[in-house]
Structure formats: C-alpha cells, structure tokens
C-alpha cells in the first residue's frame, strides 16, 4: 500500500471500531477484529490467558532487544451524540476517549514494521490492551507475561486540544495517580420539622464536603498538584423527612506518591472527625487506582528524536490530572507516553467527542519510527 491507501485503510479500521465499541473486559468482537487484521499481515499472535486483548511479536531482520508498543481497545458507557455517519451502533456505548484511534494507529504501525523487517534491529511486541478505563487492564497484561523480555515500552493518547501535527512529549510526571473513595454517613432520621429528634447526615455531609477541600488548599504545597473532588451524593427521599444516611463518592488525583499517602491520611482524619462531631457512624471505602504516569528520561529523549525526524511539532505538554494505567508498565520497565494532537471538538469522555482522522497516519508513523529508533539504541536499560 502507498501512503494514501494506508491512510484510507486505517480510517476504515478506526470507523469499524467506532461503530462497534465494547466496554472493558467485554472487547470480544474487537479482539477478533484485531486478530483478523494481524493475520492478514501475517503477524504471529502470542498466546494469552486473558479473555480479551491481543498480543503479537514482529521479529526484525537482525538480532536485538524487544520493545513494545501499546494501544488500549475498550470504550465507555456513554451514549454517542456526534451524529457521525459511522457513529456507535451499540446503544449506550461509545469510543469517547479515542481508543479506536489508538488501536487503528497501532495496526498501521504493525503494517509499517512488517513492511520494513530488514531495518529492525530486534523485535517489536504489539500490545492491544483491554480494560484501560477500569484502571487495571495493564496489571492483568503484566501478570499474563506479555511484558516478559521487553526492554522498553511506548504509547500515546490522542489530545483533542492539540492541533494535528503536534505532539506533547515530556519526561517525568505526565498523568496523575487515581484514587476513588466512598463514604456512607449513618445518622438518625427524623421529621424535617423536628431535627432535634435525629442526627442529620445531610448537614454532616455538607460540612464534610467543605472540609475535604482544605486538604489541597491548606495541606498540600502550592508547588504540588493535587485534586480532591466529591462527585456524587445520595441522600433523602422527600422534602419533609431528614434521612437516616447519606453516601458520597469522589476521586483524588496526585502526581507525587508521598503527597498521595499524606492526602489519604488526612482524608480519613477529617471524615472520622466530622462524623464524630455530628454523631454519625461512618463507613469509608478507598479504592486505589493506577499510580502517576512518570516518563523515563532516556526513552523520552529517543522518542522525541523520532518525532522531530518525522517533522512533528514537539511541545512540552502540561501534565494531565486524568489517569492512565500505562503507568503500571512504567513501574516495571522504562518507557514513555505521548500526547498526540487530534484537534478534537470536545475533551475525553464527552458524548460529542471526535478526533481528526488526518492525524491517524501520522500516529502510525510515529509509533513505527519510535520503535525503530528504540531498537537502534542498543543501550536501552
């Protein structure tokens, strides 16, 4: 295929995926499609014990290390409202984070790698990862042995606010650690006109929401980045009854592991103290998610060189407080993750989210050139 044919092919791949999105750990048809496309390229597929996801090795013409390229394949429980002719055909499910773009880009990189085997000083492992949106898919991939023997890993994520032709590459922290919390306040219900006969959990919840905001504003250095957000409150059933309980949920985002633990400690202190002050029993559930995504210096420098050779405009991106379980790979081996400009109209997880498909061929070449450049660096460690 020439470049125009390859671009048309990748757009068709992406649009097929976009029409048939699947939720985390349910990517069965997506897995079958990826396997079919790789088999058409005569790329051997690796064995796996995972129910979804595809892994494959492309062995170059020369001996050398193994490097990996990763794309995520799952979608979100969002009803699409783009009005596109190739919009999701699955009710309530949408590729609202662009994982279809990532997957198609990796298929394109696989084609380019296969066409240029003689130039590869080693092997490239393709990782089509399931369940990124749940924050644990990468851990299962590692446990499945798909990182075995790999010396370095690269990945990318579309970035709607960046124009096509621009890439954000940065060593160090790029995306935040993610924690989720649930709180249930158990008070005593009463008639709304007789609050003295109960222990009002709604008033306690209001105080709690306000106090939790002081964790960042008064306990975290202004030079550090952190977010504490209460995003869900459930309590009460009618206008004239004080309920017996209120539940709250939310998230904490951090970049520094020390700050992450300090926030958790302070969180528990505040919740327990306010519950006691308002005569509430309290239940706290804390769900730790992926750690902060921290790019490795030497790999980032190599990938930046590859991007500049491709004539992409390289910028220093602002870190994102969104999470990304690619960070688990970086706890095990060196690697880097980049933001790829797609000139979108809405940000991730929006029902009208789109990407500019003219960035797709660029993304495929970026992954291909980066992998090839990594293989040329025999000092990968």
Binding-site residue set for Mn(2+): 97, 99, 133, 157, 349
| Cα 233 from chain centre | 25
Alpha-carbon distance of 256 to 324, in angstroms, equals: 15
Instruction: Please state, in angstroms and rounded to a whole number, the distance separating the CA atoms of residues 48 and 146.
Output: 8
Please state, in angstroms and rounded to a whole number, the distance separating the CA atoms of residues 105 and 280. 52
Distance in angstroms (rounded) separating the CA atoms of residues 73 and 106: 11
CA distance 126 to 109: 9
Name which of 263, 262, 163, 248 is nearest 208 in CA terms.
Answer: 248
- The torsion defined by the Cα of 168, 301, 104 and 67, in degrees rounded to 10, comes to -150
The strand pairing partners of 247, in sequence order, are 184, 234
DSSP 123: E
CA 222 from chain centre, in angstroms, equals 26
Residues flagged as binding site: 97, 99, 133, 157, 349
């Amino acid at each position: 295929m020439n470049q125009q044919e390859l671009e048309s092919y990748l757009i068709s791949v992406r649009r097929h995926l976009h029409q048939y999105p699947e939720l985390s750990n349910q990517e069965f048809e997506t897995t079958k499609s990826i396997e079919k496309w790789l088999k058409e390229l005569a790329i051997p597929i690796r064995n796996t014990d995972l129910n979804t996801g595809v892994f494959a090795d492309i062995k170059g013409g020369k001996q050398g290390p193994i490097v990996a390229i990763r794309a995520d394949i799952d979608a979100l429980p969002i009803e699409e409202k783009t009005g596109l002719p190739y919009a999701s055909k699955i009710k309530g499910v949408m590729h609202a984070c662009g994982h279809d773009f990532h997957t198609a880009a990796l298929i394109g990189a696989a084609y380019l790698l296969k066409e240029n085997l003689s130039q590869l000083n080693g092997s490239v492992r393709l990782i089509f990862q399931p369940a990124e949106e749940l924050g644990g898919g990468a851990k299962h991939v590692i446990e499945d042995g798909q990182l075995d023997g790999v010396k370095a890993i690269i990945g990318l994520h579309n970035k709607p606010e960046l124009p096509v032709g621009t890439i954000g590459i940065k060593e160090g922290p790029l995306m935040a650690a993610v924690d989720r919390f649930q709180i249930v306040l158990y008070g005593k219900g009463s008639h709304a006109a007789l609050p003295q006969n109960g222990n009002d959990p709604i008033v306690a919840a209001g105080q709690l929401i306000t106090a939790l905001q002081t964790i960042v504003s008064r306990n975290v250095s202004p030079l550090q980045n952190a977010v504490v957000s209460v995003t869900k409150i459930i309590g009460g059933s009618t206008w004239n009854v004080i309920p017996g309980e209120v539940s709250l949920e939310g998230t904490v985002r951090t970049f520094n592991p020390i700050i992450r633990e300090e926030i958790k400690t302070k969180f528990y202190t505040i919740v327990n103290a306010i519950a006691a002050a308002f005569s509430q029993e309290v239940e706290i559930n804390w769900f730790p998610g992926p750690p902060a995504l921290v790019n490795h210096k030497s790999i980032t420098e190599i990938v930046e060189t590859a991007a500049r050779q491709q004539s992409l405009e390289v910028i220093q991106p602002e870190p994102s407080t969104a999470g990304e379980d690619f960070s688990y790979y970086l706890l095990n081996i060196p690697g880097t993750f980049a933001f790829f400009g797609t000139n979108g109209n809405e940000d991730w997880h929006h029902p009208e989210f789109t990407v500019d498909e003219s960035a797709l061929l660029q993304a495929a070449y970026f992954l291909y050139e980066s992998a090839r450049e990594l293989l040329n660096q025999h000092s990968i460690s």
